[in-house]
Amino acid sequence: MSSFEWMPDLAAALDELVPVGDSSRADWQDVVARVDKRRLLQQRGRRRPHWSLRLAVVVALLFLLLAGVATATYLLVRSNGDIALGGDVGKLLVVDPNGPGLHAVAGCAAWHPGEGQCLVEQPAWSPDGTRVAFVRGRYGGMPLHFSLYVAAADGTGVRRLALCGECGQFTVGQHLGWSPDGKWIAFSRDNGRQESLWVTAATGGTPRRLTECLAACRGDYKPGWSPDGRQLVFERLGTTAKPGGIYTIRADGSGLRLIAKGGQDPVWSPDGHRVAFDDSSGIEVVNRDGSHLRPLTPGRWRRGEIPPRDPAWSPDGRRLVYFATPGPGPQESFRAEVWTMNGDGSGRERLYRSGWRLIYWAPPIWSPDGRMIAFSVANDPAAGGTFVINADGTGLRRLSSFAFTEELSWQTRPKG
């Protein structure tokens, strides 16, 4: 029995609120039709798809699973470690992007009167991040007698691998190339006139010659191993009579091949199919066999201007980071700019721009996980140094105010 029955006005109030409806709108067949329609749709959904469609779904799921595992492994293996700085200083300097400032992991022996300044340059982390190679020596007359060294990641166990003389020091950039398996190091070595490329085992042993830079060749520099470890790419400085360019050569020293005339600073794409480099036209890319050469940063450069240079592929091979030095500005000065773009030259984006009076720089490099970029610029001593920035241009941070850096190498944090 309802407790509302004692309220005589309630019925009237509710009737006023919601008047009695019209039962003539009842339509049972409409209800049944709604059920039938839904059932039909459900039955269609349940119908077994064609075997080819099922196979495609299985393959797609398998691909997604493998991609997920690969990505997780990639991120796990390629996590960011320390950044090593090379330059005009007698120590191998290292900075943790997320930690305190610089610290030295390897230096020079005690200085003796009459000896020149000691330099540690061209640091290069091994692919697994457990070792670091570098060149070290003292200025003090010509020819130079620098040597190639390797040490553990913490700077202990320094071992001299080879005398390399100038070791490519008069050409800005990285001249040490680790093989992908971490067993070999390629480097520039001079014979008193020209520099050729040599290869040594990372554990020591007798180096072997890779290239022969003779007449009409001023030097072979910046060796880079292909991702499959079978070939190397390098730049050859030529002469007026015989211009240099970008060459490839097999790891055993055979198969020397010119793939682009006049370029420098070559880098393999992560998939090994292409090589990016710079020349008087800016950044260009060419297939590994020398075909399909195309400019990525077309433009006209005024007298005294330097085209974009020093390309570096992102670890996933989709983007390139490069350096631009627009100018000349006041008193023949230059700016430093860091740009990224897609592998086909589209989607250019400027991430950084310094003030005028660029003095030193180290070309930009990607972090092992591809999320950040590191570079060094020195213009204003108060504002210069080594920086990291997110690949999307956010989060610029100065890691160090040390302004005399010409090479950077970002360590892949060792497993465990």
> Site residues (CB under 8 A) for other proteins?
2-4, 7, 9-14, 16-18, 20-23, 25-28, 30-32, 34-36, 38-39
At closest approach, how far in Å is the CB of 15 from other proteins? 10
- Strands 319-325 and 257-261, how do they pair? unpaired
Q: Can you point out the beta strands (E) in 238-347?
A: 245-250, 257-261, 264-268, 274-279, 282-287, 294-295, 306-313, 319-325, 337-342
- Least separation in angstroms between residue 27's CB and other proteins is 7
Q: Among residues 39 and 415, whose Cβ is nearest to other proteins? A: 39
Q: How far is the CB of 375 from other proteins (least distance, A)?
A: 53
Least gap, CB of 8 to other proteins (angstroms): 10
Nearer to other proteins, 42 or 156 (CB): 42
**Could you tell me the CA-to-CA distances from 285 to 66, 177, 262 in Å, in that order?**
30, 20, 13
Residue 71 contacts residue 369 (beta carbons within 8 Å): no
In the complex with other proteins, the residue whose CB is nearer, 17 or 110, is: 17
Q: Using the 8-state DSSP alphabet, how is residue 70 labeled?
A: H
Query: From the CB of 37, what's the least distance to other proteins, in Å?
Result: 9
Smaller CB separation from other proteins, 32 or 75: 32
Least distance from C-beta 337 to other proteins, angstroms? 52
Q: Nearest distance from residue 49's CB to other proteins, in Å?
A: 24
- Closest to other proteins by CB, 3 vs 156, is 3
DSSP 8-state class, residue 197: E
Contacts of residue 236, Cβ cutoff 8 Å, sequence gap at least 6 = 211, 213, 217, 219, 220, 221, 244, 245, 246, 247
All residues at 6 or more sequence positions from 171 whose CB lies less than 8 Å from its CB, including other chains? 219, 221, 222, 237
At which residue do the structure tokens 């007449």 appear? Answer: 215
Q: Determine how many CB atoms are found less than 10 A away from the CB of residue 249.
A: 20
Determine the straight-line distance between the first and last CA of the chain, rounded to whole angstroms: 75
Q: Which is nearer to other proteins, 34 or 350 (CB)?
A: 34
Residue placing its CB nearer to other proteins in the complex, 10 or 64: 10
Closest CA to 311 of 338, 280, 333, 273: 338
35 or 382, CB closer to other proteins? Answer: 35
Minimal distance in Å, beta carbon 39 to other proteins? 7
Contact 299, 280 (CB under 8 A): no
